[in-house]
């Protein structure tokens, strides 16, 4: 009996260690890009728009850090929103906290090897953590994300859209300023 209990707890420990070791790589996906950082971002933006999503913004956290005097590689964040996907999540009290994941953000960055990479949240896996409604929506998000990063190198690069987050303007419902986004 003691051996069975010890084996049970050993199994839990090994499972926990495995989850800790590979959990991050399951939640975040990385893809190499055949293009430079700005061209990759511009192609992603064009694909986002072609898929029917709205661009919410383009940010450069590396530029912010450089202004503080540090040297960091280039990083761009492309932000997008699909109101058809976000609306059911925002309407439900039990899932509204997932607004922390909105807008959908795709990172494009350079590594020390000089190559450009694309980082995406594993939306399909993330959705499974929050029940059937969110699972269904996040499956659609994951399918769209794959379209965002599918490039046709025979097509010329589109221009980079330097839209800042929180475009909006005016006053929204409840007296809050419309800051854009989802």
How many whole angstroms from its chain centre is CA 136? 17
**Which residues pair with residue 30 across a beta bridge?**
119
The predicted pLDDT at position 40 comes to 98
Q: What is the pLDDT of residue 142?
A: 96
Token couple for 2:
């003691």
Kindly tell me if the per-residue pLDDT of 117 is higher than 60.
yes
What is the pTM (predicted TM-score) of this model?
Answer: 0.80
Give per-residue pLDDT as tens, 101-111: 889 999 999 99
Please name which of 117, 106, 112, 105 lies closest in space to residue 37, comparing C-alpha atoms.
117
pLDDT value at residue 101: 87
**In Å, how far are 46, 59, 152 from 155, measured between CA atoms?**
11, 25, 6
pLDDT tens-digit readout, 123-174: 999 999 999 999 999 999 999 999 999 999 999 999 999 865 554 434 444 4
Q: In this model, does residue 21 exceed pLDDT 60?
A: no
Look at residue 178 in the predicted model and tell me its pLDDT. 42
Quote the CATH superfamily of domain 26-152.
TT1751-like domain (3.30.310.70)
DSSP state letter for 16: H
Inter-CA distances, 10 with 5, 21, 127, 175, Å: 9, 16, 29, 56
- For the chain, domain boundaries: 26-152
Residue 172's pLDDT is 43
Please state the three-class secondary structure of 43-88 as a single string: HHHHHHHHCCCEEEEEECHHHHHHHCCCCCCCEEEEEEECHHHHHH
Give pLDDT, residue 41: 97
Over residues 48-97, the pLDDT tens digits come to 999 999 999 999 999 989 999 999 999 999 999 999 999 999 999 999 99
């Amino acid at each position: 009996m003691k051996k069975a209990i010890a084996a049970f707890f050993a199994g839990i420990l090994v499972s926990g260690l495995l989850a800790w070791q590979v959990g991050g790589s399951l939640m975040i996906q990385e893809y190499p890009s055949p293009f430079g950082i700005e061209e990759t971002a511009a192609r992603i933006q064009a694909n986002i728009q072609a898929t029917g999503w709205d661009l919410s913004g383009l940010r450069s956290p590396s530029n912010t850090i450089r202004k503080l005097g540090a040297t960091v590689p280039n990083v761009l964040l492309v932000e997008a929103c699909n109101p058809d996907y976000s609306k059911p999540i925002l309407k439900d009290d039990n899932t509204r906290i997932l607004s922390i994941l909105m807008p959908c953000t795709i990172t494009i960055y350079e590594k020390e090897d000089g190559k450009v990479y694309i980082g995406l949240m594993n939306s399909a896996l993330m959705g499974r953590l929050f029940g059937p409604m969110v699972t269904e929506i996040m499956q659609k998000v994951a399918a769209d994300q794959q379209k965002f990063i599918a490039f046709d190198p025979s097509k010329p690069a589109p221009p980079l859209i330097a839209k800042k987050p929180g475009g909006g303007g005016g006053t929204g419902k409840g007296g809050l300023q419309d800051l854009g986004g989802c």
